[in-house]
């Protein structure tokens, strides 16, 4: 994965204060590969990587994140930004029915989406009307009717007398129908062709001029990959649109099309369609799409959590201790570390998804909050001198501590043993020999 490769690229970074030019170049190469693998269009990849390099140059090496994570974080933020930042909402007409028109190639998922969108609007208390303005294929009207039925939304379709054979006329009449019967949202399904085609564009443009939509949504299959930009540009020139809907996200496409289209057209991706059922539909979430493009699963969530949990001051203190300047690792430090681990406990599930975290996952699966409470009680029954210098905790002190904390002497013994074990590992950890989090063994 990208995260593995970035970790490799950063093997030598430890101890530097700033990301170096060579580190940034190595990273840029990896990001480039990841984006191309996600089917992002080449010109978009180039611009994007340049922007990330620019930003990485100015960045201090973070205390909370390792350099690989830090670059992933920058990449992620830039991706989210291009994908539209906050999710853009539908604009509704101030008076009269809101008109939403769908455009896109045949097979993109327009008819399926029309019903999904209708159901979604209905659930928000609106009263939508579906309009069958695809008269190209013999079965198209029927398909919309079947989908409309699943969504429980009526379909306006050509009948003798209401513009049979002319999609522009059907669309126009649907507006009359909506006004008459007080539908507040009209969703116009249109015809597509297998490829970009002048007749199709002309027809879509004529429908657009007849109904003057509040929103034109360009519907595009996430699986078409590199071709997405060509199609998106053709529809932008031929019909124009306000937003993009990405379909078939239930497939294994990494979603590079979203980035390509958003970046080249500047139009936000508004909805995501992920399945054939009428309920497989959601607002588009730029952050989720960014992590899909990066193929990093929950790494991004982990980064976010790590930053939250990690107190910078504490990091500095720990760094001082480890480098020996702040004196030895004490029982107070040990307790503090346990409390950090408790915060991390909420990350249990996330950690399960991470590569290379097997050892830590096992520890967290056995993680027991009450055990930390017991450790805390024992350490708090020690004097400050004992905590700072655990070597002085002899037999009679152990008996006193056990009484004070309501535990057995054997509990105190095992805690002290565990502390010395952890201290040994902290030293190894500081010299870079030890992966994982010391002090968590056996929790």
Applying CB under 6 A, among 98, 174, 273, 340 the residue interacting with ligand GDP is 273
CB atoms within 10 A of CB 311: 15
- State in angstroms the smallest separation of the CB of 211 from ligand GDP: 18
Minimum gap (Å) between residue 11 Cβ and ligand GDP: 41
Residue 250 marked ligand-binding: yes
Q: Which does 108 bind (CB under 5 to 8 A by kind): Mg ion, ligand GDP, none?
A: ligand GDP
| Residue number with CB closer to Mg ion (173 or 247) | 247
Q: By CB under 6 A, is residue 112 in contact with ligand GDP?
A: yes
- Lateral strand order in the sheet of 185-190: 155-156, 128-133, 185-190, 98-103, 215-221, 243-247, 269-273, 281-283
Residue 423 phi, psi dihedral angles, 5° rounding: -65, -40
Distances in Å between the alpha carbon of 440 and those of 239, 302, 329, 383? 60, 18, 15, 24
274 binds ligand GDP per the rule CB under 6 A: yes
Q: Give the span between the Cα atoms of 10 and 440, in whole angstroms.
A: 26
- Which of 218/329 has CB closer to ligand GDP? 218
Nearer to ligand GDP, 140 or 303 (CB): 140
Only segment of 123-131, 160-168, 267-275, 306-314 that touches ligand GDP (CB under 6 A)? 267-275
Q: Looking at beta carbons only, is 73 or 110 nearer to Mg ion?
A: 110
Which of 300, 255, 297, 271 lies closest to 35, judged by CA? Answer: 255
* 276 binding ligand GDP? (CB under 6 A): yes
User: In this chain, which of 28, 34, 80, 108 binds ligand GDP, going by CB under 6 A?
Assistant: 108
Q: Strand (E) positions, 70-147? A: 98-103, 128-133
Q: Which of residues 167-206 bind ligand GDP (CB under 6 A)?
A: 192
Q: Which stretch binds ligand GDP (CB under 6 A): 28-36, 244-252, 292-300, 320-328?
A: 244-252
Q: Which is nearer to Mg ion, 3 or 111 (CB)?
A: 111
331-345 and 312-322 helices, crossing angle to 10°: 140
117 is in an annotated binding site: no
Rule CB under 6 A: choose which of 67, 84, 104, 390 binds ligand GDP.
Answer: 104
277 labeled binding residue:
no
Short-list 309, 325, 329, 347, CA closest to 438: 329
| Sites of contact with Mg ion (CB under 5 A) | 110-111
Q: What does 240 interact with, of Mg ion, ligand GDP, none (CB < 5 to 8 A by kind)?
A: none
Least distance between ligand GDP and beta carbon 250 (Å) = 5
Q: Should residue 110 be labelled a site residue for ligand GDP when binding is judged by CB under 6 A?
A: yes
Residue 362 phi, psi (nearest 5): -60, -45
DSSP string spanning 329-358? --HHHHHHHHHHHHHHHTTHHHHHHSTT-H
* Residue 140 marked as a ligand binder: no
Per-residue CA distances from 133 to 150, 278, 311, 379, 428 (Å): 19, 20, 58, 74, 70
Q: Which stretch binds ligand GDP (CB under 6 A): 72-80, 100-108, 358-366, 424-432?
A: 100-108
Q: Is 128 exposed, middle or buried (0-12, 13-18, 19+ CB in 10 A)?
A: buried
Residue from 306, 345, 253, 229 nearest 72 by CA: 306
Region near ligand GDP per CB under 6 A, out of 28-36, 72-80, 110-118, 352-360: 110-118
First to last CA, the chain: 30
Instruction: Give the nearer residue to ligand GDP in terms of CB position, either 154 or 275.
Output: 275
CB of 104 to ligand GDP, least distance (A): 6
- Closest to Mg ion by CB, 110 vs 387, is 110
Residues annotated as binding site for GTP?
A: 104-111, 189-193, 247-250
Contact residues for ligand GDP, defined by CB under 6 A: 104, 106-112, 192, 247-248, 250, 273-276, 280
């Amino acid at each position: 994965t990208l995260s593995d490769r970035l970790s490799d690229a950063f093997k030598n970074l430890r101890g530097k204060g700033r990301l170096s030019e060579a580190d940034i170049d190595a990273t840029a190469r990896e990001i480039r590969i990841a984006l191309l693998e996600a089917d992002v269009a080449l010109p978009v990849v180039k611009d994007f990587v340049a922007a990330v390099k620019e930003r990485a140059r100015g960045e201090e090496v973070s205390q909370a994140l390792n350099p690989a994570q830090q670059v992933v974080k920058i990449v992620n933020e830039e991706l989210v930004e291009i994908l539209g930042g906050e999710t853009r909402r539908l604009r509704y007409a101030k008076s009269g029915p809101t008109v939403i028109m769908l455009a896109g190639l045949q097979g993109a998922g327009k008819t399926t989406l029309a019903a999904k969108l209708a159901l979604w609007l209905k659930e928000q208390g609106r009263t939508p009307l579906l309009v069958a303005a695809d008269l190209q294929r013999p079965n198209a009207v029927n398909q919309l009717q079947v989908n409309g039925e699943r969504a429980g939304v009526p379909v306006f379709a050509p009948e003798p007398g209401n513009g049979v054979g002319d999609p522009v006329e059907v669309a126009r009449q649907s507006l009359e129908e909506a006004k008459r019967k007080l539908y507040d949202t009209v969703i116009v399904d249109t015809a597509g062709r297998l490829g970009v085609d002048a007749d199709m564009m002309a027809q879509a443009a004529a429908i657009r001029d007849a109904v003057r939509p509040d929103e034109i949504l360009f519907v595009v299959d996430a699986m078409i990959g590199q071709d997405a930009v060509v199609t998106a540009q053709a529809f932008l020139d031929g019909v124009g649109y306000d937003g993009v809907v990405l379909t078939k996200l239930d497939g294994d496409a990494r979603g590079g099309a979203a980035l390509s289209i958003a970046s080249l057209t500047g139009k936000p991706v508004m909805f995501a369609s992920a399945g054939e059922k009428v309920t497989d539909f959601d607002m588009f979430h730029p952050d989720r799409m960014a992590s899909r493009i990066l193929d990093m699963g929950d790494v991004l969530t982990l980064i976010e959590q790590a930053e939250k949990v990690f107190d910078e001051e504490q990091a500095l203190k720990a760094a001082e201790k480890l480098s020996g300047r702040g004196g030895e690792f004490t029982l107070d430090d040990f307790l503090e570390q346990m409390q950090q681990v408790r915060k991390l406990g909420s990350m249990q599930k996330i950690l399960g998804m991470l590569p290379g975290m097997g050892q830590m996952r096992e520890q967290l699966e056995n993680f027991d909050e009450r055990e930390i409470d017991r450790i805390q009680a024992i350490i708090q029954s020690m004097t400050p001198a004992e905590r700072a210098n655990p070597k002085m905790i002899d037999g009679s002190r152990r008996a006193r501590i056990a009484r004070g904390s309501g535990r057995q002497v054997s509990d105190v013994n095992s805690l002290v043993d565990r502390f010395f074990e952890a201290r040994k590992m902290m030293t190894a950890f500081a010299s870079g020999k030890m992966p994982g989090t010391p002090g968590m063994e056996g929790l």
